[in-house]
Amino acid sequence: MRLSLAVTVSIMFGITSLAFGQANPVLIINGSSTTSETGTTSSITTNLQNKIIAAGGTPTTVDTPPSDITPYKQVWDIRFANSSPLTSGVITQYVNYLAGGGVMFVMGENANFTTRNNSVISLVSSVGGGSISFLVPSSSQTVLAPFTGPNAVSTITYNAPGGAGGATPGTGSFMTRDSSNNGTGIVWNKNSMTNAANGVLSVVFDVNWMQDTADTNSQNFLRNLINFNNVESGVGGTVTGVPTLTESGIMGLSLLLVLFGASRLRAQHTA
């Protein structure tokens, strides 16, 4: 088989594009039909979608959790209104997803969103992440490793945060923490949740930091959280907008290069 360089390159780009597009299916649940702040929901949805795409992901955005979330490598539940708490059925679904090795982000909010926050705390308890008690930390917080990179950020200033206190929030670790050891961002890594040892769960009790109008530190913290979730879900860290070449893409490229090389050799022998 003799392939021209132009045809080979075209096929190569087709295969790599397919590989990138399927590399990281991400589900975003935004609660658009029940949100108490339509502008905020629209802003955080757009910003998260754009940054996930820039990191090589393929986001699908829905209003409420679908019956099956297992096809997705990551789930981002960015609902925050009191009208969209995690129901007992959704909590069970999320626990099972995390137990199966899923990577998940769940949004909480400030003290005015008690119903939503209590349901997030119930999820943490159900998944075996220990006991956390809601409180109001300082707005200015230190960003802790590994969420300080690859996009440089050392501090974040929330608008009106909620959070939890104590040196260790349940069995998790703080992503961001104030000077009194109270924090707004919490992560449960693999082997830290007794009912979902293979899963990774992150929670932030604030919504405004995810808006497209948030400052540079907030944007970099979001990029780094996306990068962290990409790594944990097994698709590599790709926050700069250059997607990671998947194993299938590499194999496809290698095969095409071999075919192209063989066709060129045959052409030289017959010339």
What pLDDT, in 10s, does the model give residues 208-260? 999 999 999 999 999 999 999 999 998 766 443 333 344 344 444 455 444 55
Q: Which pLDDT score is estimated for 23?
A: 61
Give Cα separations from 18 to 58, 230, 260 (angstroms).
Answer: 11, 18, 20
Is 0.75 surpassed by the pTM of this model? Answer: yes
* Per-position pLDDT tens, the chain of length 271: 454 544 444 444 344 434 334 568 999 999 999 999 999 999 999 999 999 999 999 999 999 999 999 999 999 999 999 999 999 999 999 999 999 999 999 999 999 999 999 999 999 999 999 999 999 999 999 999 999 999 999 999 999 999 999 878 999 999 999 999 999 999 999 999 999 999 999 999 999 999 999 999 999 999 999 999 999 998 766 443 333 344 344 444 455 444 555 555 555 555 5
Q: Which CATH architecture has domain 25-234?
A: 3-Layer(aba) Sandwich (3.40)
Q: Which pLDDT score is estimated for 55?
A: 95
